[in-house]
Amino acid sequence: MPDPLDTVFAALADPTRRAILIMLLEDDMAVTDVAEPFEMSLAAVSKHLTILTKAGLISQERRGRVKWCKLEPDAMRDASIWMQSFGQFEAVNLDAFERFLEVELGEKDSQA
């Protein structure tokens, strides 16, 4: 059985699937409405939706004749926690680092 984190990251690796998730941030959508902005067949979009569903990122529900998609944001919690673990290191401030190097190199030049 694949690791759920692997499944989520594999689903997020595709730009079409990320675009679908962004669309679903606003509200639930019918599958046909999800497919509308993409230049691909409904069957191709359905495959993307199946991958997102298997990853737990969305749920699909039939309401009458229409199949609806809903974002499941809790599914990204473990992926978010995993990514945040890398946040323990502050981003390098390149301007400050450059000033530091100028000072250090300037002092070494004056000592030579």
Task: Report the residue count for the chain.
Answer: 112
Number of domains in the chain: 1
Taking the whole predicted model, whether its pTM rises above 0.85 is answered as no
Relative to beta strand 58-63, strand 66-71 is antiparallel
The count of other CB atoms within 10 Å of the CB of residue 13 is 10
Q: Up-side HSE of residue 22: CA atoms within 13 Å toward CB? A: 8
The count of other CB atoms within 10 Å of the CB of residue 44 is 13
- Cβ(35)–Cβ(42) below 8 Å: yes
Q: 41 is in which domain, residue-wise?
A: 4-111
Tell me the pLDDT tens digit for each residue of 66-77: 999 999 988 888
CATH no. for residue 100?
1.10.10.10
> Is the pLDDT reported for residue 5 higher than 70?
yes
Report d(CA 64, CA 48) in Å as an integer: 22
Tell me the pLDDT tens digit for each residue of 9-53: 999 999 999 999 999 999 999 999 999 999 999 999 999 999 999
